[in-house]
Amino acid sequence: MFSALTSRRSLRLVLQTRRLTSDLAPQSGRAVVPLWINGESLKSSTGRTVVHKHSKTGEETCEVVVAGKEEVDQAINSSKLAFQDWRNVNGWERKGILQNVGKLIRDRSNLLSEALLSDTIFSDLVMAQDQKSALHLLDGAANTAISVEGSIPQTVDGSFSMVLRQPYGPVLSIPAFNYPLTLALRSIAYPLACGNTVLLRASPLLPQFFQLLGPLFQEAGLPKEALQVLNFSEKDVGERVEQIIAHSDVRMVNFTGSVKLGKILAAKCGEYLKPSLMELGGKSVAIVLPSADLKLAANNILFGAFLNSGQVCMSTEQVLVHSDIAEEFEKVLKETAEKAQWGEGMEMVRHRSGDGAKALYDDAVKQGAKILYSASSSSSTPTSTSFPPTILSSLPPTSKLLKEESFSPLLSLHRLPSTSSIIQHANSHSTGLTSSIFTNDYREALEIATDLESGAVHVNGMTVHDQHNLPHGGWKDSGYGRFNGQGAVESFTQTKNVRFVKEGMLPLDLLYKGL
């Protein structure tokens, strides 16, 4: 529904955006996706260009201008200069700008969706939910802008102390691709709301989408240097990212993505002593207990597992069901999946994602896992970018799927004999982003929730959930730091103690006496 552009208004918006990429790369005839530095589109750079191909069709869709060392330095210098002014803009003005961003997104919903589909494939449901979530997040970030507060603590010596919260400075933001608008705006809006400026690393999977964001924020009233949007080539992305982290004027990093890459970035931040916020992947569990509404549990678990083809860091990957009801629940879960009548293959964004899911599936089945449900058929033709929604049971302890986040439509079910063994299994994984408990015994739910090593626990709801006034982030290998509300304030500002001394004269004559 989002790709159907029928109104004159939508057509005008499409033409406006196409003008941003109307210049053609020499000798190629492809549209150029520029860098966004110092409030201007740069259609050439020392980094040259790379060709982007649609993840599903393989068609060459555009030529992407990538930042070299010179452009990165230019972006950092612009971001630092902008910070000197942006840090002093009052919260109410920042709030108004972020609200303007929301209005522009509402006006350009079709345009944003068209840009996404130009480079990859997303379902109408995901794009609609993504835009709804992004608008909700912007409301939260706008309120965050007027919620940055300090404190006046009591002192033992009668002095007057103020604890201020102040922004860090230029922030490197690296969002994930899977909920593109929400995650991109989250990595931009919260740092800006707290008075920082942003260097945004655009996802290489969605260049035509990301190139809309710089002009959009500037039209909303953001000072032109406060947001830089940078594209990097695959061959030198590591070098360019380290260049940014190492630069003395860049003060913080926020990253959303895989545990593997998060650890690399966190280590690099540690090397240069830069604070960071890491929102990383997980292996989210849904726990089903004897008193649960089994139909509700099956419905929410399947939705949480297969939403966006399982390409959500909060996706339900494991179902831990009490053995007293395991046989009955397996039947309900299978029947619920069959009634959904899914197509044989769920499309994914990254090239060869389907191959990765198949490798995990083949490894598990080869070692003895049982297929409880699969949307595939004997005539199915697997592709490198799709995989059928699948539920496996009796997963061997040596299978890769037991430990690795699949980021695909794969769900595993595990029978466990007791509540204590369920908690032990849930906590045995190295990650802990989110989880669910299905039960009608709320005392039991709260007891289990306090024992789970997870950043969020949802009772009788799916594992996928985010709300702008609730802290979002993980435990253990799922990262540290928090987005949303007070969590964002604590993550994107630092404290400064300003103390007014009541009596300033000190007894110099007592120094060294009695040593």
Closest listed residue to residue 17, CA positions, set 182, 189, 209, 183: 209
Closest listed residue to residue 192, CA positions, set 167, 210, 175, 220: 167
- The bridge status of strand 475-476 relative to strand 276-280 is unpaired
Q: How many residues does the chain have?
A: 515
Sign of the CA dihedral 460, 466, 468, 472? positive
Asked if 410 contacts 372 with a C-beta cutoff of 8 angstroms, the reply is: no
User: Residue 470, class by beta-carbon neighbours within 10 Å (0-12 exposed, 13-18 middle, 19+ buried)?
Assistant: middle
Burial code (b: 16+ CB inside 10 Å, e: under 16) for 245-261 equals: bebeebbbbbbbbebee
279 is catalytic: yes
Asked if 150 contacts 283 with a C-beta cutoff of 8 angstroms, the reply is: no
Q: Which residues contact 179 (CB under 8 A, 6 or more apart)?
A: 126, 130, 133, 308, 312
Q: Half-sphere exposure (CA, 13 Å, Cβ side) for 72?
A: 24
Q: Which residues contact 80 (CB under 8 A, 6 or more apart)?
A: 169, 170, 197, 249
Q: In angstroms, rounded to a whole number, what is the distance separating the alpha carbons of residues 320 and 437?
A: 9
Name the 3-class secondary structure at 27. coil
Sheet containing 32-33: which strands, arranged edge to edge? 32-33, 60-65, 49-53
Q: In angstroms, rounded to a whole number, what is the distance separating the alpha carbons of residues 137 and 487?
A: 13
Asked if 317 contacts 285 with a C-beta cutoff of 8 angstroms, the reply is: yes
Q: In angstroms, rounded to a whole number, what is the distance separating the alpha carbons of residues 491 and 470?
A: 14
Q: Which position among 71, 279, 317, 405 bears the catalytic label?
A: 279
Asked if 161 contacts 132 with a C-beta cutoff of 8 angstroms, the reply is: no
Q: In angstroms, rounded to a whole number, what is the distance separating the alpha carbons of residues 315 and 389?
A: 13
Active site residues: 279
